[in-house]
Amino acid sequence: MPSFADALRVLNDMKDSGVVEEYAVAGAMAMVFWAEPIPTYDLDVLVFLPEDESAIVSLAPLYDWAAGRGYPAQAEHVMIAGVPVQFLPAHNRLAEEAIDRAVTLEYEGVPVRVVRPEYLVALYLEPGARTLKRRERAAALMESGALDRGTLDQLLERFGLEL
């Protein structure tokens, strides 16, 4: 039976194969590691893609790699081991830093890079992402005791974000 752990193994294989330079699980699935789990439809993965001479970011090599291994695309997701995975290229300095500073944890014996809770809160509070659902997730992380408030305050100040 397919599982989240199987999807994480594939993420590690993508990194080992050079399809992505680095990744970090974000979104609701990352909250599994830091706070009370919440229902979600998909697995959001922030990625650094290999350098390309083009100024346009393309996920085509990633989708081609996945298709070649039997992981079909469905809309914006790649179905990996029965899990819809959405790959999100780092879109700004905050996302880049979130990937750089992600921590490696374990899920059912599989190592996985996960966005730290302070960065999850900051990402949830970005103006373009600031929905009620994401503000609620930020609040849950703040109440969890998993984050370092000093680090969060520094992030909010550096990136011009508000609670």
Domains of the chain plus CATH, in order, are 4-158 (3.30.460)
Above 60 in pLDDT, residue 84? yes
> Residue 3: its pLDDT value, please?
81
| Band of residue 54 on the pLDDT scale cut at 50, 70, 90 | low
| Band of residue 57 on the pLDDT scale cut at 50, 70, 90 | confident
Long-range interactions of 54-58: CB distance < 8 A, separation 24+: 57/89
| Residues of the chain above pLDDT 90, percent | 72
| Band of residue 2 on the pLDDT scale cut at 50, 70, 90 | low
Q: Is 162 helix (H, G, I), strand (E, B) or coil?
A: coil
